Amino acid sequence: MQRVLVLSNSKKSLMPCHPARAKELLKKKRAAVYRRFPFTIILKDRTVGDVQPVELKVDPGSRITGIAFVGEFKRGERVIFAAHLFHRGQAVKDALESRRSLRRSRRARKTRYRAPRFLNRTRPEGWLPPSLMSRVGNVQSLANKLLRFSPISAIAVETVRFDMQKLEDPEISGTGYQQGSLLGYEVREYLLEKWGRHCAYCSKQGVPLEVEHIRPKSLGGSSRVSNLTLACRPCNEKKGSRSIEDFLRSKKDLLSTILKSAKAPLKDAAAVNASRYAIGDALKTLCLPISFSSGGRTKFNRCQQNYPKDHWVDAACVGESGRRVFIHPLHKPLLIKAESKGSRQMCLPDKYGFPRTAPKAQKRVFGFQTGDLVEAKVTKGRKIGIYQGRVAVRSTGNLNIKAEGKIVQGISHKFCRILQRADGYSYAVNS
């Protein structure tokens, strides 16, 4: 299960401990709660301690990045902490598109002519779109944060989601890697992501899937990924060596969908491939030994150990050290979601782009800031009870608290106390 992060009384990271041990230390008042998420305690009577090597493993994704701590114990390597990091790349893209449309509409209405400037702007080397850079920044900032609370000694990152050379020419030979035990894992992993892990012909899920040639080799088809799909065994045998036009003669809609999807790029895979080197370079700034691996090796390690598919499980199986790692069946990851740290927009616009509210006032109200984790104990009024969650401040001092998926409005600041300051992330425990 998830271990509790531990700090010494000088705020140096020690080896994470079992939750029962942390509960005992808190009960005896030998430790205090230092941070709620990720749950961290600080010892009152210990300055130093022995630590074992702990490896931070990262499985970058387009929407979710898996994170795992793997520690070395006498019985072998095991996962001691895991998390899912939810990115906001699409939200960044939507915000930029909204801003662009508002600016363009404003400039077109009764404004002076202004010469275009887009040809005068140059991009630095290694430039990435803001939606991709937000993913890189999320991984880097969270790794920096976790480094303060745990004795991380090395980092392992899955930087190559798909081996593009292997995808272009599956029959390439000449090295042990290409003809070894990883043969076929890169192509299959790509197809699973592209076709949604279901049969392309009957849409069945949860059944063994086989790699299927859309245009059979007997009719001149190749083994490029644009000619491959996934099919269950009955559909694969039923289609045989017939052309897809003949096989789906009575299903014109499905035929057009498959032919269109076959050549469509995988958006999420493209996002990961575009940012993989930037994530690696960002983690190098932590000045720790770092290793890189491919998605094919990650899946091979996971399948050899019969672990279920999940982002944090993939993170634990990254690299050479992921061949033998123990994962407790009841282990649940911490859910971490990247949040906006506020808006630089001074006031909200209407649908025409003109301001409809007054300029923003101070960021903190009565010591509280939007995004803070608070606990409110309401002792009188219609909303008597205890509420815990992220707060949205109001200038009147009556705060809104988002607790358990519901928003409780109008809670006076007098009933609230800070549990954890806003750090750009929201946290939840996977149930």
* Residue-averaged pLDDT of the chain: 84
- Using alpha carbons, list the distances in angstroms from residue 273 to 60, 67, 286, 405: 10, 18, 22, 34
What's the rounded mean pLDDT across residues 114-135? 80
Which pLDDT score, from 0 to 100, does residue 327 have? 92
* CB-CB contact of 58 with 283 (8 Å): yes
CA distance 87 to 52: 31
| pLDDT one-digit tens code per residue, 11-62 | 999 999 999 999 999 999 999 999 999 999 999 988 888 888 899 999 998 8
**pLDDT of 167 higher than 90:** no
Q: Are 330 and 1 in contact (CB under 8 A)?
A: yes
C-alpha 209/C-alpha 293 separation (Å) is 25
Q: Mean pLDDT, to the nearest integer, of 332-349?
A: 82
The residue with greater pLDDT, 306 or 343, is 306
Q: What percent of the chain has pLDDT over 70?
A: 89
Report, as an integer, the average pLDDT of 187-193.
77
Between CA 186 and CA 164 the distance in angstroms is: 9
The pLDDT score that the predictor gives to residue 176 is 40
Give the pLDDT score at 26. 94
Q: Which helix (H) or strand (E) holds 64?
A: strand 64-73
Name which residue leads in pLDDT, 163 or 10. 10
> Which tokens belong to 409?
């409005």
Residues 105-117 have a mean pLDDT of 67
CB atoms within 10 A of CB 374: 21
pLDDT (0 to 100) of residue 195: 83
Please check the confidence at residue 173 and state whether its pLDDT lies above 50. Answer: no
CB of 147 within 8 A of CB of 290? no
Look at residue 84 and tell me whether its pLDDT is greater than 80.
Answer: yes
pLDDT of residue 180: 46
pLDDT at 86 > cutoff 90: yes
Across the range 77-100, mean pLDDT stands at 90
Is residue 177's pLDDT more than 50?
no
The pLDDT value given to residue 174: 47
Residue 178: pLDDT band (50, 70, 90) is: very low
* Per-residue DSSP letter, 155: E
Q: Indicate if the alpha-carbon torsion angle 95, 97, 101, 104 is positive or negative.
A: positive
At 116, is the pLDDT very low, low, confident or very high (cuts 50, 70, 90)? low
pTM of the model: 0.77
For 379-405, the pLDDT digits (tens) are: 888 889 899 888 988 888 889 998 777
Q: Which residue has the tokens 């005896």?
A: 28
Say what the pLDDT of residue 179 is: 44
Average pLDDT over residues 132-148: 92
**pLDDT confidence band for 113 (50 / 70 / 90):** low
More confident: 27 or 72: 27
Q: Greater confidence, 331 or 173?
A: 331
Residue environment code for 13-35, b if the CB has 16+ CB neighbours within 10 A, otherwise e? bbbbbeeeebeebeeeeebeeeb
Mean pLDDT of 113-122: 68
Instruction: Supply the pLDDT for residue 161.
Output: 56
Per-residue pLDDT, averaged over 199-215, amounts to: 89
Looking at residue 335, what is its pLDDT? 93
| Residue 426 · residue 390 · CB < 8 Å | yes
In the chain the domains, ranked by start, together with CATH numbers, are: 4-88+130-163+273-338 (3.30.420), 171-267 (1.10.30), 342-422 (2.30.30)
Place of tokens 């002519």: 113
Q: How is 382-409 classified by DSSP, letter by letter?
A: TT-EEEEEEEE--TTSEEEEEETTEEEE
Instruction: Look at residue 265 in the predicted model and tell me its pLDDT.
Output: 64
More confident residue, 130 or 122: 130
**Secondary structure string (H, E, C) spanning 323-350:** CCCECCCCCCCEEEEECCCCCCCCCCEC
Please give the pLDDT value at position 314.
93
Say yes or no to pLDDT of 217 above 60. yes
Structure confidence by residue, pLDDT tens digits, 256-293: 888 888 877 667 777 777 888 889 899 999 999 999 88
